[in-house]
Each structure stands twice: as C-alpha cells, then as structure tokens.
A and B are shown apart, each in its own frame.
Chain A
Amino acid sequence: MLTHLPILQVIVPLLAAPLCIFLRRPPLVWLFTLIVSSLAFVISILLLQQVMASGTIVYELGGWDAPWGIEYRIDALNAFLLLIITAISTVVLLAAQTSISKEIPKEKHMLFYTLYLLSLTGMLGIVATGDAFNVFVFLEISSLSAYALIALGKDRRALWASFQYLIMGTIGATFILIGIGLMYQMTGTLNMEDLSTRLPEVAQTRTVFVSFAFVIVGICLKLALFPLHLWLPNAYTYAPSIVTAFFAATATKVAIYLLIRFSFSVFGLSFSFTTLPLQILFMVLGLSGIFVASIAAIYQTNIKTLFAYSSIAQIGYMIVGFSVSTVTGLTATLLHVFNHALMKGALFLALGAVMYRIGSVQLSQFQGLGRQMPLTMAAIVIGGLSLIGVPLTVGFVSKWYLLMALIEQGWWPVAVLIVLGSLLAVVYVWRLVEIAYFKPQLVGKESVKEAPLSFLIPIWILVMANIYFGIDTRLSVQVAQAAAQSLFGVSP
C-alpha cells in the first residue's frame, strides 16, 4: 500500500470526482468530498515523511521502465507542494457547504464538488508527475475545471471573467505544448529526468532556445506574472468565495512549481541562468509586478479585487526570490509559496464569511464590521499583517529570507525596493481596517451577526497556522531548504 502512495495521491480524488454525481444530496456530497480531500492530505503527509527520511520516491506507472513509461517522481519539492495543496483544499472545504448554500443553486452543488475534486486532481497530478506531456494533460484537467468553477459565480461578470481566463489559459497551455513538442523533437524523450540529461547535449541549438521560450511564457501566463496577469483579478473577484480561496492559495503556486521544475531541473541551472539572461528579466518583471499590482490594489473598492491584485504582487516576491537563483533565494520563494497559501487562504475565506453575512464585499459595506463580526475581521487583520510581513507572522519569515538572499548577492537596491513594496501593502490593508473599525455601522445593517462556526473554524485554523509558522519556522524552513538544495544538486 505504502509503495503506491504517489499514484494514490492523484487517483483518489480523480475517481472520487464522478462519484459525487451519484450521491446527489448536498450534505452527503460535501462530507464525501471532505473525506476524500482529507485522505489526500494524509497521503501527502506520509509522502513528505518518506521523502524527508529516505529521499526521492520514484513510482513507475503500470510497471513500465522510466524513459518509456510514465513515472511519478516525488522529491522534497513535490512533496512540499502536495502538502500545501491538499492542506488548503481540506481546510477550505470545511467552509464549503455553508458558503455555497448562498452562492450556488442547490441542484448544482454536486457538480461543484465534482469540479472541485477534478481541479484538485489536476493540480496534484502536475506536481506528482515526472513526465513533461503528463504535465500538460493535468494542467488542462485543472484549468478546464477551473474555468467552469469560476463561471459558477453569481454575478454575470463571472462568465465573462471565465471566458477571458479560458482564452488566456488555453494559449498558455498550448505554448507549453509547443515547447514540449520541440523538446521531444530534439531529445526523443518526455521524461523530465531523461530530458535533463539529454538537453545539455543539444543546448546550443535554436530549437532548444525556442522550446524554452515557449514553455516559460506559457507557464508565466498560468502564473499571472506581470504583465501577463490580466485574467486574474476578474476571475478571482467574481468566482464563488470558496473557489477564490482555493485557487488563490494553490493554483498560482502550482505554476511557480512548474517554473522552478522546468528552469532548474529540466533545462538545468546553467542553461536557464547563464546562457540566457533570465535573472535580470525575472528580477525586473517581479519588481514591476510588486509595484504595479500593489498600487492597483490601493485603488480598488471591491475587497476581493484588492486581494487579487495583492496576490499578483506576492507572486512578484516569489519571482524575485527565484531570479536570485541561489539556494537562499529559492528557499525564500518556496517559503513564500507556503506562507502565501496560508495568508490568502485565510483572507479569502474570511471574505467568504463576509459575503455570507452581507452578500457583498464592497469596501463601503465593511463599515462597522469590526464590532459586528469581530472574529472574522480580526482574522482579516492578522492575514493583512502577515501580507505586510510583520514579525511573528509567516509573511515576515519569507520576506526575511528573501532579503537575506538579496543581501548575500549584494543587491542592496533590490532589497530596498522589496521593503518599499511591503509598505504599499500597509496602505491597502489599512484602508480596510480604517473602514471596518473606525466608521459607524451602516443603517439597516444592525442585525449582521458574527459568521457561523463552519466559517470561523477553518478561518482560524489558517490564521493560527499563520502565527504558528511565523514563530516556529523549523518545519517549513527545513523542507523548503531541503527542496532548494536538491534542486541545486547539493546533498542536504
């Protein structure tokens, strides 16, 4: 049983997805989905333990040897990502039933859970697989279900956002497909491990350069890296609250994983960062992303849009860490992937609670909520502090590592810009706090009560995680470092 964990990780939610349709009764489907997601979470914990104890796990599908058959390869990086995805998915699901009861018509509930599980399958598959073409297939499974999930939003603008995302996402995925095709043409293999040994032999050909460009641009579209981020704000704003919480915390992280996997493992460090000027390119794009998106966030009146822009800015931090291309820089990126999932999961779930009680997340509607929904608003404040990077929250830990990585390289101006970027986060978080705590409550809204427990429990699980991993950083830092070191070929 234990030897089959890598495939079970993916196949359990995949098989469970169609079963949701047969269960029909909403509470039953919800319970079933929650159990499946928890099961996936347990599997990912076991996988992480195995990887940390005994190194990379290789699983050959159907018993076919690696370069011919598809192999699943779980190293510290994969296991770390699997853990993040399944953990967030499970916690978010706790609130799902309550939240969608007001946002999605009852007869569509089972379809919602089916899509949710398919999307989860896709993300887990992308991370678990060691085969380049398999990545494309899982990418499309997760994306297609994502488009449909976003279109479930109440507002008609959800449809338009979903359509735009579909166009951009399909172009991105097709770019990745072209890149993989060119790679296959040069090497005759699709296995990532095999590719990494064969690509250096032909690295100086134009075909490989073109294939690299296609793959990276395709991934950056999925990643919503500035300036390819235009699909993200609307998609996150109009999607149902649960969907936003799930995707904001996981979907872009998976794309970050792909970026790291392709540039570090498949094409190799020397090709990505020495032959090509990737370092300066990503540094500039990351920094402009931080500033453009943070400033855009300041001017938003819809809080979901505000935090969606803030997500784009946070992706900027991850990309800056990535562009440093040292072990510390990559550790910072991976830590921020983990930490950002915790922050945004908590924030968007709290917004879901506000949506549940008030039916809107416009800034003006937050007046006086600090007194009416104290626990929810406190969660938003702590999440916001974490976003800024205040000590004792997780946001501080990853920013600290990022600054260390930059200073190690002597890139002082960039370090200063990172700190300035964090100050912008103070501005947009403060706007919300000011309205919620220092304005009188709106007339006719006196009856608004605290969010139900089914919301408060998952929100506060995530908030507590924000604080816990901000103080006790052993687990997250240890795993992130192990993953970064294995990518650089340093034995831990």
Chain B
Amino acid sequence: MLIGLYNYWIVVVLMMIGFYIVIAHGNLIKKIVGLTIFQTSVFIFYISMAKVDGGTAPILADGIERYSNPLPHVLILTAIVVGIATTALALALTVRIKEAYGSIEEEHIQEKDNQAC
C-alpha cells in the first residue's frame, strides 16, 4: 500500500508543504513559492495518474499495444500555462506592492494599512 501508491504520497506531501508555506510565511515571495509547489503537486498527480503499467508514449507504432493515457498530460499542459500566468501576475503584484509600501512582509503591510485607517 505504501510502496504501490508512492506517487500519491509524494503528491500529498508536496501539496501540504506548499499549502503550509502559503499559510505560515509572511514574505510574499515565499508565499508565491509555496503556491507554486502546491500547484506543481497537482501537476504530478495528473501526470502520474495517467501512467499505464508497461505502457509507452502514445505514438502509434508497430508491435506496441499498451499506451499511457495522453489526455491528462494535455490537460496539465494547460494547467501549467495557467500556473505560469498566476505566478507572473503574483510577482508583478509583489513588485507593485514593494513600490507602494516599501516592504514585501505581510506584517509591515498590515501595519501600514492600519495606520492609514
């Protein structure tokens, strides 16, 4: 059970690491790193799920009868693009936040907002 499903264990561990970083860290860049790890774990989940035992790449060729499922791979290509867009946007926002607040620490930003109120 532990060994046979090891890919899922990796996925879950990575997912929790990412999720924990997002919640626990106050630095915006670290938050983005955590978010990326979180998303990547889902990519691995999709990709490993599509693997068929003994199957090869899904290219029609003589003598090959088992293929891995290409659909989840294609889906995850889309999800990777979405992930990059999200990361890029988050980093751009971080640059703007740094310009506006002079800090990328959650604490400092909250402090400055509270003063403004």
Contact = CB atoms under 8 A, between A and B. Distances in A.
A and B bound?
yes
Contact of B46 (A151, A163, A166, A181): A181
Given A151-B93, A160-B113, A184-B72, A174 B42 contact: yes
Contact of A151 (B19, B22, B79, B96): B96
Q: What secondary structure prevails in chain B residues at the interface with A?
A: helix
Contacts of B49: 181, 184-185
A171 B42 CA distance: 11
A170 B86 contact: yes
Contacts of A166: 86, 89-90, 93
A159 B96 CA distance: 7
Contacts of A174: 38-39, 42
A438 to B, nearest CB: 26
Contacts of A16: none
B28 interface: yes
Contact of B93 (A136, A163, A170, A178): A163
Contacts of B89: 144, 147-148, 166
A170 B7 CA distance: 23
Interface in B32-55: 35, 38-39, 42, 45-46, 49
Given A140-B86, A170-B86, A174-B42, A162 B93 contact: yes
B85 interface: yes
Nearest to A178: B42
A156 interface: yes
B93 A167 contact: no
B22 to A, nearest CB: 6
A227 B89 CA distance: 26
Contact of B97 (A133, A140, A159, A178): A159
B22 A144 contact: no
B19 to A, nearest CB: 8
A163 B39 contact: no
A163 B42 contact: no
Interface residues of A, number: 24
Interface centre among A136, A148, A151, A160 (most CB of B within 10 A): A160
A357 interface: no
A401 B35 CA distance: 42
Given A177-B79, A181-B46, A185-B49, A157 B113 contact: yes
A451 B101 CA distance: 33
B79 A136 contact: yes
A163 B86 contact: no
A203 interface: no
Interface of B: 19, 22, 28, 31, 35, 38-39, 42, 45-46, 49, 72, 75, 78-79, 82, 85-86, 89-90, 93-94, 96-97, 100-101, 109, 113, 116
13 contacts: A144-B85, A151-B96, A156-B97, A159-B97, A160-B101, A160-B109, A167-B31, A171-B38, A174-B39, A174-B42, A177-B79, A178-B45, A181-B46
Given A133-B78, A136-B79, A166-B93, 4 more contacts: A144-B85, A170-B39, A171-B22, A171-B35
Which 10 pairs show the lowest CB-CB distances between chains A and B? A156-B100, A140-B82, A163-B93, A159-B97, A159-B96, A181-B46, A170-B86, A185-B49, A133-B75, A177-B42
